[in-house]
Structures are given as C-alpha cells and as structure tokens.
Amino acid sequence: MHSFRVRFAFLLLVFLGPALGAGAQAAEVRANAATAFRTAQVLALAEKVADYQLATMAGGYVPPNTSPDTPDPYGWVQGALFVGLTQLADRSERTGYRQAILARGLANKWELGKRTYHADDHVIGASYLWAARNGAGQAAIAPLRERFDTILAYPPQVDLEHAEYSDPRGVSCAQRWCWSDALFMAPPVWIELAKATGDAKYAEYAKKEFAAVTEYLFDREEHLYYRDSRFFQRRGPDGEKVFWSRGDGWVFAGLARMIPLLPPHDPGRARMETVFKQMAEKLKAIQKSDGYWSPSLLSDPEKSLPESSGTGFFTYGFAWGIKSGLLDRAEFEPTVRKGWTALTRAVHLDGKLGYVQPVSDRPENVSYEDTQFYGVGAFLLAATAVADLNLRP
C-alpha cells in the first residue's frame, strides 16, 4: 500500500501541479459567492472542493477515525470520489482532473478490488470506463471485462437476506446487490460496459439483479429503499421506519447514472424511471427547511443534523432528472436550489467538505468537521448536474 501511495502521489503531483496553483486562487473566492447558481460559479466551487481533496490525497492524508476501506485505491470509498471526478473532468477547462483519473488507473494497473462478486469492488471500474474513452484505450477495461465474465460464468446462488456483521454467517448476501449502496457501486458499471463493448449480456444481468433487489428492499408505501433486510422491522424514536439518507442517496444517484445508459424503449429503463420518479416525489416532500435531508429520512426534521453526502446524491439526482426531462422543472427546481445552497454551506473556506457522515450502514451522528472521499464524490456529482442547469441567481 505504501508503494502505491508513493507512485500515485508522484503521478498526481506531476499532473496536477499547475491545477493546484489555480486551486489556491479559487480558495480566495468570497464565501457569499458560493451560493451562486450560474454554471461558471458552480464549477468554480466544485474545482475548489476537488483541489482540496486531491491535494490531501497526494500528501497521503487519511481522515481520522475512518475504516480500513478509506485508503484502499480499489475500493468504494475512493471509487465514489472518482465517479464524481469523471463528471468534473468532462466539464472543467482544466486538464488536471483528467490526468488524476488516468494516474489512478495506471497506478491500479486497471484492476478491481480482490473480492470477485462484491459491488464495492466494482465502482472504481466506472473511472476505467471513462479512461478508456479518454485516451487509455481498451486496455483500461480488459480486467473489468474479465471479472464480469467470471461472474456471468459462475453466477451467485445466495439469497438477498442480510446478516448482522456479528453473525457467524457474516454478510450472507455479499455476492449479490442486497444492500442499497450496491445499486450505485455496481449496476451502472455493468450497464456502461455493455454500451462500451456492444455486448448486451452485461446490461441484462444488471437489470435482472436491480429488479430483484428493488422487489426486496423498496418500500411500496414510502417509496424509499431500506438499507438492507435488517431494517425491515426497525423503528426510530418516534416509531418511524428507518430509511438511511445516504443509503437512499446511493440508489437515487445510481438510477441517474443507469437510466441514460439504457435505450429509450427498454422495459428495464421504464421500470427504473418509475422508481426514480416515485422516490423524487417522496424526497421532495421530506427535504428539510434548511435544504438538507435528515440522516434518518423520516425522523423529526427539527431534531436532525445537517448531512452532506445524502444531500449531495439527492441534489444530483433532482438536477439530472430536470435536465433529462423526467422531472418537471417548475415543480422540482426549488428542491435543487435548496439542496445546492445547503451543500455550499458545508464547504470550508479551504475547500474541505464538511457534514459528511462517516463510514457506516445506518443513520449516525455527523459534524461540520467530518469529511470523506465519497462525500466529495457526491458533491461533485451535484455540482456538475446543477451547473448543467445554469440556474439564474
């Protein structure tokens, strides 16, 4: 791991030296400009946040009190960040973000994490697919394709019931997408690989498994996803069902990533669009007055803390939904404005993104000082989608 950090840091500093100088200038932007909605201003804030995160990574920074997943260059914590970086690279005039993505892939030798079936070890593949389209060529997705071919040859046979981590069985369903986070980590990569290769088998697998987990975890009354089967019977302090903000954020953002990759008349796409619109209606109704969503979505909004990772994914989904035409602009634009304004308040003057709930699988405490790579990924997704709307101040 140490040799990887040295290699990646060297590549990152070589590629990003000029960009980080510009980031220092961005750090001087007046705080009250952060709430602007115009494309240039939104992207400037996105660059400021990205520059801070990339600089800390190049310096070997790991946030305190984090899990062993955090420094893993193949894992989901950083993989979600690189999903956001691909969107910023597509829109920024600065080449440093493109070079950071390529540097990560080269340092990783375009490999996925070691767990063959686990969704968390698939999400980094999204950045490899982007790299293949942006100069790295087919070599960037060869290991990804080999991994997915192995899964198709030996499909998982487990059910979707999720065991407690203290249970001797462990997470019994880890070979399948039996937890809500997985719908961001894996199926968009599968569907994009189908598009990149012209081989529909990858998308067919993703659609089948998405349908199975949606049938299992989607609450037909609340139009929200349980994080996993352990939460079916759990209730909050006021008797409310427990729906985790970031857990549903993973799904909402995952749908926004999957839907445009499928053909317009694909039945699988139609099912995803239906779920997306149902979630959108519910999420709009429970957004807090301060623009954030509660860590536990149905908890008392007056008692809940600000939280930026779930809010980032939701804001991204709403902005994308408006741009794509799935959501009515007049109805949902106020939700985007409130969400984006809340996110800007989470950005420290130096570009650090705060209010990111630490690694977990349920609603927990969060503070202004808490940050994480995946939270920045959510912020970059939100920023780029809001920038695409070019909202008036």
**pLDDT greater than 90 at residue 9:** no
pLDDT at 169: 55
Backbone angles phi, psi at 196, to 5 degrees: -70, -35
All domains in the chain, ordered by first residue: 2-389 (1.50.10.10)
For residue 73, the one-letter residue type is P
**DSSP sequence for 29-80:** S-GGGGG--SHHHHHHHHHHHHHHHHHHHHTT---TT--TTTT-TTSHHHHH
- pLDDT per residue as tens digits for the range 255-267: 999 999 999 999 9
Does residue 192 sit in helix, strand or coil?
helix
Q: Which residue has the higher pLDDT, 368 or 12?
A: 368
Please name which of 181, 234, 217 lies closest in space to residue 357, comparing C-alpha atoms: 181
Kindly give the interhelix angle for 329-345 and 308-324, rounded to the nearest 10 degrees.
150
Mean pLDDT in the chain? 91
Give the tokens for residue 153.
């040859």
- pLDDT per residue as tens digits for the range 327-367: 999 999 999 999 999 999 999 999 999 999 999 999 999 99
**pLDDT greater than 80 at residue 64:** no
**pLDDT greater than 50 at residue 12:** yes
Q: Is 228 noted as a catalytic residue in this protein? A: no
User: What average pLDDT does this structure show over 188-193?
Assistant: 98
Backbone angles phi, psi at 40, to 5 degrees: -60, -40
Does residue 224 sit in helix, strand or coil?
strand
Residue 53 — very low, low, confident or very high, per pLDDT cuts 50/70/90? very high
Length of the chain measured in residues: 393
Burial of 2 (0-12, 13-18, 19+ CB in 10 A): exposed
Please name which of 235, 342, 109 lies closest in space to residue 226, comparing C-alpha atoms: 235
pLDDT at 10: 43
Cα separation values, 65 from 195, 310, 358, 371, 384, Å: 39, 20, 8, 11, 29
Cα separation values, 31 from 35, 75, 104, Å: 8, 33, 32
- pLDDT per residue as tens digits for the range 278-333: 999 999 999 999 999 999 999 999 999 999 999 999 999 999 999 999 999 999 99
Residue 58 — very low, low, confident or very high, per pLDDT cuts 50/70/90? confident
Residue 25 — very low, low, confident or very high, per pLDDT cuts 50/70/90? very low
Kindly give the interhelix angle for 308-324 and 373-389, rounded to the nearest 10 degrees.
30
Quote the percentage of the chain above a pLDDT of 90.
Answer: 83
pLDDT at 163: 79
- pLDDT per residue as tens digits for the range 110-152: 999 999 999 999 999 999 999 999 999 999 999 999 999 999 9
pTM of the model: 0.92
Does residue 232 sit in helix, strand or coil?
coil
Residue 3 — very low, low, confident or very high, per pLDDT cuts 50/70/90? low
What's the rounded Cα separation, in Å, for the pair 306 and 294?
7
* From 51, 72, 181, 370, the catalytic residue: 181
What's the rounded Cα separation, in Å, for the pair 57 and 139?
25
Q: Please, are residues 351 and 51 in contact by the beta-carbon 8 Å criterion?
A: yes
Backbone angles phi, psi at 218, to 5 degrees: -80, 120
**pLDDT greater than 70 at residue 70:** yes
Report, in this order, helix, strand and coil percent for the chain, each rounded to 5: 60, 5, 40
CA angle, residues 326, 184, 181, in degrees to nearest 5: 120
Q: Poorest-confidence range of 8-17, 186-195, 220-229, 368-377?
A: 8-17
pLDDT at 21: 43
